[in-house]
Amino acid sequence: MSDLELIKREWIARIDGARDLAALEAERVAALGKQGAVTQLLKTLGAMSAEQRQSEGPRIHALREAVTEAVAARKAALEAAELDRRLATETLDMTLPVELGPQGSIHPVSQVMDELAEIFSDLGFAVATGPEIEDDWHNFTALNIPESHPARAMHDTFYFEQTDAGGNRMLLRTHTSPVQIRIMQQHKLPIYAIMPGRTYRSDSDATHTPMFHQVEGLVIDKGITLGHLKWTLETFLTAFFERDDIVLRMRPSYFPFTEPSAEVDVGYHMENGRRVLGGTEKWMELLGSGMVHPKVISNCGLDPDEYQGFAFGCGIDRLAMLKYGMDDLRAFFDGDMRWLRHYGFAALDVPTLSGGVGA
């Protein structure tokens, strides 16, 4: 038996005898490291004659390969044994209590906004936003609201002392309708969009707060009629309240920015002292709507003889109250953790039309 064969047997025996990964690494370094025994044998090839290298080179390289394979095999065996040991000894007690700590939730208003976006995006509507600090022109004048209109009075509107560069008074927007004006001014037609957001009016009671949330819808296109408006509202409310018995009633009304205008009532009935939408037992006003006034279309630089449209608006907080059973709007903004835990939504309660927009 040659010396190289003895060396190989010796190293394989030492490697197989390594009891753990640290001992195995020490044997690997001793054999194959920069100063290792096998590495030193490889370095002797440089001093050999051509004939010697031809005969000894393959044998030394075979020794290195054998030692390398032995190290890899032993390492795999030790790692497998360690895994088996951990699986046999480590346990997880599933009966131990888990303290989750303070838990956040999605506010009902945020949830309803997501539900609205999901429903209207399926109808081909975009979601648009605009500034909450507006000028008098976008908030009132462009919407055909005359100077004498009660909505301009100080008791309804929060005005700032400052004016913009054009001399327009600045204010906290009283509705999201200014976003409609800004969209129409961009002249990217046709327009199918909803505008959810915060609005501000000087009012406070169980059903009104100085800051509240509103969603408005706007369609500007050719050949738009009241029939399109009614179908859109019926489709939206049926999907939002997830009931097939939603019935709407449109009553003639007046808004400066629509002509003709209509108040929209929805049928409801009482269940266990709670108002539940559906049927025609009783009626309640839910939103305002109408065909966009030709003057509003003209104010935005569009031709009212070519383009028509409809608009509608309702309170997001009111929609949440009707759908999820709250009876006092002020509690929405009190920051009471008990209320939020009761009415809030989990972060993964994402509205989908296939799974149901409501949780």
**Model pTM?**
0.67
Single-letter amino acid code for the residue at 83: L
108-343: which CATH number, 3.30.930.10, 3.30.70.940, 3.10.20.30, 3.20.190.10? 3.30.930.10
pLDDT grade, residue 207 (50/70/90)?
Answer: low
Three-state SS at 227: helix
Query: What would the pLDDT profile of 6-27 be if each residue is shown by its tens digit?
Result: 888 888 888 888 888 888 888 8
Residues 24 and 30: beta-carbon distance below 8 Å: no
Residues 9 and 15: beta-carbon distance below 8 Å: no
- C-alpha 17/C-alpha 1 separation (Å) is 23
Average pLDDT, the chain: 87
Residues across the chain = 359
- C-alpha 281/C-alpha 270 separation (Å) is 9
Query: What would the pLDDT profile of 87-131 be if each residue is shown by its tens digit?
Result: 888 887 778 777 776 678 889 999 999 999 999 999 999 999 999
Tokens 């002249």 found at = 187
The domains of the chain are located at: 3-89, 108-343
